[in-house]
Structure 1
Amino acid sequence: MMRARWFLVAVASVWLGCKKPEAAPLPADPKVAKHGRTLFQRGRSVRGTPLTGFLAPERVELSGEVAACARCHGPSGRGSAEGGVEVPDISPGALGHARTRAVGELEDRSRPAYTREALLRAIMEGRSASGRTLGVTMPRYVLSPEEQAALLSYLERLGEEPDPGISPTTLTVGAALPLTGKLGPVGQEAAAVVRAVFADVNASGGLFRRKLELVVEDDASSIEASPTDATTRLLERGVLALVASMRRGPLPSDARLTEEGAPLILPLALNGGVSDEDSPVFFLYPDEPTLARLAVQSLARAHEAELRRGSLLVVHAGGASGTAWALAARDELARRALRPPEVLTLSDSPLPLERWAAEPPLAVLYAGTPEGLDTLLRGLEQRALPVRVFAPASLAIPEVVGRSAPRVHFLYPAGLGERAPDLEDFAAFMKRHDLRPGHAAFQLGAYAAARVLVEALTRAGAEVTRASLTQHLEALRDFDTGVSPPVTFGANRRVGIQGAQLATLDAATGQLVPVSGWIPLSP
């Protein structure tokens, strides 16, 4: 169905680009043209609402990315082929000239050159430059005056200027990583891994004769909850995409990423993140709210009767990420018609240990700081409460867990036991580039994110744009990064690995040991 709809838009969109032939257009306002680019590439209006068009005569609605012109005739307007049907070049040079004969099988019979007025009639009323009524597959778009001006401004320069970060010889990618502060060593290790992946690509001739270049902005303050945002600085420097950044959760710059359509391939967020279906942020691993859902699903399979009595506790350290953790658990319980959990914020209330001793809960779902987990575990130990604790694997710190290790089940999405990836090639990669093993989770995450980016850039081809890169990320299916479970994205899927395993921390080795099979995320 989606392929058929894409085909309809492909046939319809061949009319959507031109340049006034009578006189050179006035220089386009870059800000206005930028709004037009969002309409053309992503199907988003000036105000951020979906672009809407209707297929005559039934008035079948097309909306958002499905209606975006770039989906069909290509982000640069040079044309494409879908289902064996040729979609011709709609760049200014192609539609700004008269045509004296038909081309191929499409409805672009002889016509005069398009003027701005004729183009708007084609877009909004379905009439060609010669006045002929266009076919029923041509959407009649609903555009405000602002949107009309923005789209025309962009179409006048369509295909003439490359996206940020693209030059004839380089593709520049950014990473927002802590290079100083307590997480500085982690960020430096991640940057070194990404640079090494790029070095391997460049040593093999690059991508379509372009070298990959990584620029890193120090994001130590953002990791520690300061308003300073390295992602914004990278976008201002002009990068094609971002990869392997590290952060606690959503940032103000996410709106800027969405506005510019710049994809970010994120190994993980330390405390939750954005995975909306229209977000440019692609997660390799589930964010923390998704892990909360997985924990509830695992408990519901084995302890549905207890959960119906309402014996689940959700504890977090406060803030937006803690609230998201609690809401995800509550929503998953409600979806299964189970009683809502008791929610406790450590920053607001002490642990009600006496009440828990009188009526022990089935389990506690915890997300937050290592200090908060330490407080929770020490309290349970003092009362000798046999309560299991579920927590994200980012909190699997031996110094924190200590002798409570058997009671803590960590949600680990990277694969353990039979699902553990074979890291022999990764070990050889590290040795070849003289990189020392360090913070393994972040080194592996950076490697996987860089491999995903390189694969999507390779598929996007020589005429890569941000929009086409996003499309090829969405098209990844069961991609093997070499260090993780297979990664699959989609138009409505921004988390590549949707599942996890339960694991405990081996006190002797400090390694995670699986205590469950793979738990796939139920829709």
Structure 2
Amino acid sequence: MMASFKAIFCGLLCLLLPDYAAAQDSAWQRGQAIYHQGSKGQAACVRCHGSRGEGREEGGLSAPALAGQADRLLLQRALLDGLGSNGLSLHPLMPRYQIDTASLDDLIAYLHVIAKDTPGLTDTLLRVGVRLPANVYGAAIQAGLSQAFDQQVYGRRLELLINPTAGQAFVEVASVQDTSRPEFQTQLQATPYPVVEADRPALIGPLPMPGIANFSDSLAPGSFPILSSMREHASALLAQAALDAPKDKAAQQLTLIYDMGNDPALPALLQELRQQARANHQSLREQIWSAKVRKPGEAVIYLGGPAGLSAMLANSGDGLVYASAIHIGPASLQLPLAQAARLRLLLPWRTSSTVFDLPGAYSDAAYASGMVLIEALKRSGRQLSRAELLQQLKQLRDLMIPGLGKISLRPGQAHASLGGQLLTVDAAHGRFTTLRSW
């Protein structure tokens, strides 16, 4: 009889325990319904605070991030009394809710888990994506990131994913962008910068594709650049030519040679360069690359790629030629010695390398991007979410990176670092030499 009673009791217990467990586990699910659907006919939190509690800014108003919100008293005062953490009244658009104690507990339970399912993030691991070309530059960028990531942040190891698929990485760092490709322009039109969503990984420190003759300053959505844009790069070429001009000339004669007919940024860029030349008292003449420069000693600004480099030099007199190290750097080492000696190549960032080489410069830039991520992660705290990381990136100011200088990130700005280097080409020894840095 006793055995029969125990069997019945155990059977009932087995039936009841799943219901009890479900009741315990569904608190956050009930909170999820409140967050996404509202409560008792009142507005849903998701409308202003975002699908992942990341917070939003619209029309000059700011709805703060709620993901991971743990202070029950502050949340209760905001919902019931309309008071912020400073004790002042919140904006009238913030609803005053009628919510009971149990529902408030459910909502708090959901806010604890709302960002926990972020791809690429676990309690012990953070996956960082990087998109690389399969060449010496890709290997150099990977080496720079690996050096930066040789540490843990709040007990999380940083794992580098090369060319990850969608949804694998928590954040992207130092990915190479080929802005000349049509699919890149399509991506920009579909999601224009600076729209940043908390469920899409940010891109820290995008790098230009070596050898691409394109001066577009377009950036992938959610980018936080640390290097000067390519259009600023072109502007700096004129400034460097002015520094080398004879001081006794009232106006410096320059020839602008370009071979960038497919670059959508070219018309606006040329207009900016004309205005800058006038301000610098420079006489700027524009030609296609095959035209000849007839005046002895006339300086040339070359906006083009490596394909026409040797022919352009042969037809451009005997003056100095200023060009982009990103666009033509490697090809310049294969030039005849006399042609190579006339080149001045601009790199739009500084490097820490004692012996300069372009892959090494990319490695340094990748290392700097990795250190920006490390600093933002440290400031975000252990309870990490993409929303918090984005917020910390936007607020990052004056971070000193050895060799590169101070980094300050501001959404929508063209760059975070103002440094650069002007290089000469030593084709006899297959290397570059730094003429000046700033």
TM more than 0.5: yes
Q: For residues 156-204 of structure 1, what are the alpha-carbon distances to aligned partners after superposition, in whole Å with 9 as ceiling and x for unaligned? A: 965532244323332222111123xxx3x43244234424533x21xxx
2:22: which partner in 1? none
2:390: which partner in 1? 470
What are the equivalent positions in structure 2 for 1:213-232 lying under 5 Å apart?
213-217=159-163
**CA radius of gyration, larger in:** 2
Distance 1:340 1:89 in 2: 64
Asked if the contact 2:49/2:56 (under 8 Å) is kept, the reply is no
1:161: which partner in 2? 114
2:62: which partner in 1? 68
Asked if the contact 2:395/2:409 (under 8 Å) is kept, the reply is yes
Q: 1:269 to 1:328 in 2, by over 3 A?
A: farther
Q: For residues 386-431 of structure 1, what are the alpha-carbon distances to aligned partners after superposition, in whole Å with 9 as ceiling and x for unaligned? A: 222111122223114643222211113443xxxx63779xxxxxxx
2:203 is the alignment partner of 1:264: yes
2:225: which partner in 1? 283
Distance 2:358 2:388 in 1: 35
Distance 2:236 2:37 in 1: 53
Asked if the contact 1:75/1:467 (under 8 Å) is kept, the reply is no
Give the alignment's Cα RMSD to 1 decimal. Answer: 4.4
1:106 is displaced (CA, Å) by 0.7
2:21: which partner in 1? none
1:106: which partner in 2? 87
Partner of residue 259 from structure 2, selected from 316, 325, 328: 316
Q: For residues 416-467 of structure 1, what are the alpha-carbon distances to aligned partners after superposition, in whole Å with 9 as ceiling and x for unaligned? A: xxxx63779xxxxxxxxxxxx9932232222222222222212222233333
Distance 2:42 2:92 in 1: 24
Asked if the contact 1:501/1:515 (under 8 Å) is kept, the reply is yes
Q: Which amino acid aligns with 2:258?
A: V
Q: 1:285 to 1:105 in 2, by over 3 A?
A: closer
1:387: which partner in 2? 319
2:168 is the alignment partner of 1:210: no
2:352: which partner in 1? 421
Q: 1:369 to 1:159 in 2, by over 3 A?
A: farther
Distance 1:342 1:177 in 2: 38
SS at match of 2:344: strand
2:343: which partner in 1? 408
Partner of residue 177 from structure 1, selected from 132, 148, 163: 132
SS at match of 2:237: helix
2:174: which partner in 1? 244
2:141 is the alignment partner of 1:190: yes
Q: 1:486 to 1:194 in 2, by over 3 A?
A: same
Q: Percent identity?
A: 22
Distance 1:189 1:24 in 2: 54
Alignment length, in residue pairs?
Answer: 375
Distance 2:352 2:63 in 1: 40
SS at match of 1:177: coil
Distance 1:421 1:309 in 2: 33
Q: 1:310 to 1:414 in 2, by over 3 A?
A: closer
Asked if the contact 2:300/2:319 (under 8 Å) is kept, the reply is yes
Tell me the TM-score normalised to structure 1 length.
0.59
2:69 is the alignment partner of 1:78: yes
Q: Which amino acid aligns with 1:488?
A: S
Q: For residues 51-100 of structure 1, what are the alpha-carbon distances to aligned partners after superposition, in whole Å with 9 as ceiling and x for unaligned? A: 11xxxxxxxxxx3xxx3323xxx4626289xxxxxx9754xxx479757x
| Higher RCO (C-alpha under 8 Å, 6+ residues apart) | 2
Asked if the contact 2:349/2:418 (under 8 Å) is kept, the reply is no
Asked if the contact 1:504/1:512 (under 8 Å) is kept, the reply is yes
Any gaps of 5 or more consecutive residues in structure 1? 1-16, 44-50, 53-62, 81-86, 109-121, 131-153, 218-232, 425-436, 519-523
Q: 1:281 to 1:352 in 2, by over 3 A?
A: same
1:340 is displaced (CA, Å) by 7.8
2:424 is the alignment partner of 1:504: yes
Distance 1:264 1:315 in 2: 31
Distance 2:41 2:94 in 1: 25
Q: 1:322 to 1:387 in 2, by over 3 A?
A: farther
SS at match of 2:307: helix
Tell me the TM-score normalised to structure 2 length.
0.69
Distance 1:309 1:494 in 2: 29
Distance 1:279 1:326 in 2: 25
1:505 is displaced (CA, Å) by 1.3
Asked if the contact 2:228/2:414 (under 8 Å) is kept, the reply is no
